[in-house]
Amino acid sequence: MGLTLERPARAPGPRAVPRPSRGSGRGSRARWVWTWAYSGVLSVLLTVAVLLGYLLTGLASGTVDWPALLTSATWNPGNLAFGGLAMIYGSAVVCVLALVLAVPAGWAAAVALSEYLPPRLAKPLRLSVELLAAVPSIVYGLIGIMVIRPFVAGLGGVPGGDSLLAAGIVLAVMIMPTIVAVSVDALAAVPGRYREAAYALGLTRREVVRSAVLPQARPGMRAGVLLGLARALGEAIAVFMVVGRADGRLPRSAGELLDSLPRPGQTLTTKLAGPEPMLAGTSGPYFAALCGLGVILLALVAAATVWGTRGGGARTPRPPRLRRSSAWLRVPKDRAATAVRLGALLLPGALLAGMLGILLVRGGAALNPVFWFSPSEGAAGGGIRDQILGTLLLLATTAVIALPLGYGAGVVIGTHASARTARVLETLTVAIGGTPTILLGLAGYVLLCTTMGWGRSWLAGAVVLVPVVVPVIALTTAGRIRGMPPETTEAALALGLTRAQYVRSVVVPYTWPATLTGLLLGLARAAGETAPLIFTATVFFGAPAFPTGVVNAPVQALPTHIFTLSQDSGAPEAIAQAWGSALVLVLITAGLLTLAVLLRNRFEGARRWTT
Which range among 1-10, 426-435, 496-505 shows the weakest confidence by mean pLDDT? Answer: 1-10
Whole domain around residue 120: which residue ranges? Answer: 66-279
393 has pLDDT over 90: yes
Same domain, 244 and 393: no
Categorize the per-residue pLDDT at 600 as very low, low, confident or very high, splitting at 50, 70 and 90.
low
Cβ-based neighbours of 569, under 8 Å, separated by 6 or more = 145, 575
Neighbours of 154 (CB within 10 A): 11
Categorize the per-residue pLDDT at 497 as very low, low, confident or very high, splitting at 50, 70 and 90.
confident
The tens digit of pLDDT for each residue in 355-387 reads 888 888 888 777 888 888 888 877 677 888 999
Same domain, 265 and 387: no
Backbone Cα Rg of the chain: 26
Cβ-based neighbours of 606, under 8 Å, separated by 6 or more = 600
23, part of any domain: no
Which range among 17-31, 523-537, 565-579 shows the weakest confidence by mean pLDDT? Answer: 17-31
259-266 mean pLDDT: 89
603, part of any domain: yes
Categorize the per-residue pLDDT at 401 as very low, low, confident or very high, splitting at 50, 70 and 90.
very high
Same domain, 96 and 235: yes
523-552 mean pLDDT: 87
Task: Compute the residue count for the chain.
Answer: 611
Neighbours of 360 (CB within 10 A): 13
Which range among 330-339, 390-399, 408-417 shows the weakest confidence by mean pLDDT? Answer: 330-339
> How far apart (Å, rounded) are the C-alpha atoms in residues 58 and 75?
18
Same domain, 271 and 370: no
The most confident of 103-117, 271-285, 392-406, by mean pLDDT: 392-406
Burial grade of 466 (CB within 10 A; 0-12, 13-18, 19 or more): buried
Specify the number of domains making up the chain.
2
Q: Whose CA is closest to 111, among 205, 175, 174, 187?
A: 187
2 has pLDDT over 60: no
SS3 530: coil
350, part of any domain: no
Which range among 435-439, 520-524, 573-577, 603-607 shows the weakest confidence by mean pLDDT? Answer: 603-607
Give the sign of the dihedral formed by CA 192, CA 193, CA 196, CA 202: negative
308, part of any domain: no
Residue 605, sorted as left (phi over 0), alpha (psi -120 to 50) or beta, turns out to be left
The answer, as to whether pTM is greater than 0.85, is no
108, part of any domain: yes
The tens digit of pLDDT for each residue in 292-329 reads 999 999 888 888 877 766 654 444 445 555 555 555 56
The tens digit of pLDDT for each residue in 9-50 reads 433 444 444 444 443 445 555 565 556 667 777 888 888 888
pLDDT recorded at residue 268: 92
390, part of any domain: yes
The tens digit of pLDDT for each residue in 49-65 reads 888 888 898 898 888 88
475-484 mean pLDDT: 79
Categorize the per-residue pLDDT at 166 as very low, low, confident or very high, splitting at 50, 70 and 90.
very high
End-of-domain residue from the set 279, 310, 338 = 279
Same domain, 465 and 602: yes
pLDDT recorded at residue 394: 94
End-of-domain residue from the set 279, 304, 328 = 279
pLDDT recorded at residue 602: 66
Same domain, 396 and 499: yes
101, part of any domain: yes
220-244 mean pLDDT: 86
Q: Whose CA is closest to 483, among 409, 410, 399?
A: 410
HEC string for 230-283? HHHHHCCHHHHCCCECCCCCCCCCHHHHHHHCCCCECCHHHHHHCCHHHHCCCC
389-414 mean pLDDT: 90
The tens digit of pLDDT for each residue in 87-145 reads 999 999 999 999 999 999 889 888 888 888 887 777 777 777 767 777 888 888 888 98
pLDDT recorded at residue 302: 84
* Cβ density class 480-505: b for 16+ within 10 Å, e for less: bbeebeeeebbebbeeebbbbbbbee
6 has pLDDT over 50: no
Q: Are 36 and 408 in contact (CB under 8 A)?
A: yes
Looking at residue 78, which CATH number applies to its domain?
A: 1.10.3720.10
Q: 381 has which bridge partners? A: 377
603 has pLDDT over 80: no
pLDDT recorded at residue 248: 80
Indicate the average pLDDT of the chain. Answer: 80
Same domain, 255 and 385: no
> How far apart (Å, rounded) are the C-alpha atoms in residues 157 and 152?
8
pLDDT recorded at residue 97: 94
463, part of any domain: yes
242-248 mean pLDDT: 87
End-of-domain residue from the set 279, 300, 320 = 279
Same domain, 124 and 255: yes
